[in-house]
Chains A and B, each alone.
Chain A
Amino acid sequence: MPLDPTPVDATLFASLDPPRLAGSRCSGCGTVTFPATSSCPKCMEPTMAPYALPDRGTVWTWTVQGFAPKPPYVPPAGGFRPFPVGYVDLGEVLVEAHLLADAAQLRIGLPVRLVLEPTWETDGAPVVTYAFAAAEEDA
């Protein structure tokens, strides 16, 4: 993979190496959101502070995107192929994400860890998003 990947949206990441997602956490009620917000959707107060989300969790639900979405979806460089997506249970919050795993391997409860996933290229530079990859072997 080329160096210096560009994140699909810089506000999603607390860091790229190692990858961590930039959420927010309410100092009042402990609610965690992703992406980060300024106002807590539960207690309705401006009590959210930046919070790097846990980078390991388990698959809470999943499906496989079986057809090519319409724009503004951008297919990867090699063209659209069906891809798994799901919600990952990080304990304090469930985060929607691409899942890097074989369909045969996917199940509710599968341990996963946060990784960067190459998507498309902009002006020759790789653009990366976040994904969760199967982490069964070191669970």
Chain B
Amino acid sequence: MRSDDVYVVGAGMHPFGRHEGVSGLDMAEHAVRAALADAGVSWADVDFAVGGSNVSGKPDSLVSRLGLTGVPFTTVKNGCATGGVALATAVSALQSRRADLVAVVGFDKHERGAFAADPAAYGLGEWYAQTGLMITTQYFAMKTRRYQHEHGVSDLTLARISARAFRNGAEHPMAWRRTTLTEEEVLASAPVNEPLTQYMFCQPSQGAVGLVLARGDRAADLSDRPVRLAAVTQRTRRFGSFEVFSPWLSPQPWHSPSIDAAAAAFEEAGISPAEVQVAQLQDTDSGSEMIHLAETGLCKHGEQEHLLAAGATDFDGTLPVNTDGGCLANGEPVGASGLRQVHEVVRQLQGRAAGVQVPGNPRVGFTHVYGAPGLSACAVLTVDEGAA
């Protein structure tokens, strides 16, 4: 355990779902308190905080609930990648030794229905939304269809991704969707944006996640089994990527910020994708998970067809993916979603998963988020050899 390494020493969350009468800030407070309790520290011990919410309040106003200690509190807002960016911000504060104990929180409380986006906020003309082109689900469907065309992945594989997500969600007490669905039921559900059906999409939901981070010089005192953040990276899109909210694309647009962020994370960690024993991938829809499996380097393009058929991404398979049910079973409270992934991987590596537990004491985990207008954040997490 090197003193400069950054560890997760506490993790807590408010269940995901829809919660009448509970505000986003209520859920955030709950999650932070759970994380502090998990680490055995108090809010007064925290000397830097980072919070993210897309639509549900000012994260830094949490100080009036948690304690007016004067702690510096940075808020971030990066769409679906908010959680990953919050985590990266926290790690920077610890690595630069501007802080010794950092609280990270992400939360959101969305209403029903697909997200609506403001074209002006993305530098796009009003026409783009007025004519019905500014819709995230369209993008996911169009990227999925082209990917299937180029790499020969079937609709059945998309359904298998959803069915596995709901199987895992059914076992997870914090998950929203707790009912299993067969591949046939997924394929037969309403065609929202073909080839993607209703049960191949996640829905906006509500929830919060808190984490407590410390450097190696303190982590062992705060946790029996601290989980090292071996790398936390973020990247925006490069020229030639296929992004949401794009009126035009360059020919052959197969770059992706997910490719860049994942490659950087594995390089920084000194770990190869083949070593990953549990992964959380952005699965706003089953097509996105399919594509992200390959973009992050966890498999080759087209290999998803075989991996899903063989059960490789099941919790007891060779490449467990979205063991808590992912966005498909948890829904997506945008500010909390990326931190949910970290929460799940931390607990998997600590051997205390709330739902299905990856067998064999996994030691290497990976998380990946992707958000509009084209950014990704990834993390590689490990537990030290010999940690018990």
Contact = CB atoms under 8 A, between A and B. Distances in A.
Q: Do A and B bind each other?
A: yes
Interface of A: 8-9, 11-12, 23, 31-35, 41-42, 60-67, 69-74, 83, 85-87, 89, 91-98, 108, 119, 129
A24 to B, nearest CB: 10
Contact of B191 (A62, A64, A93): A64
14 contacts: A34-B247, A34-B248, A35-B247, A42-B239, A64-B194, A72-B130, A73-B131, A85-B132, A92-B251, A94-B248, A94-B249, A95-B248, A98-B132, A129-B131
Contact of A67 (B114, B119, B131): B114
Contact of A98 (B130, B131, B142, B250): B131
B194 A61 contact: no
A69 B135 contact: yes
A83 B251 CA distance: 24
Contacts of A71: 116
Interface of B: 113-114, 116, 119, 125-127, 129-135, 138, 141-143, 145-146, 149, 190-196, 239, 246-251, 253
Given A31-B250, A34-B248, A9 B145 contact: no
A74 to B, nearest CB: 5
A34 to B, nearest CB: 4
Given A42-B239, A63-B142, A70 B114 contact: yes
B194 A93 contact: no
A42 to B, nearest CB: 5
B135 A93 contact: no
Given A9-B127, A94-B250, A96-B247, A65 B135 contact: yes
B145 A61 contact: yes
Given A34-B248, A87-B249, A69 B114 contact: yes
Most B CB contacts (10 A, CB to CB) among A73, A93, A96 go to A96
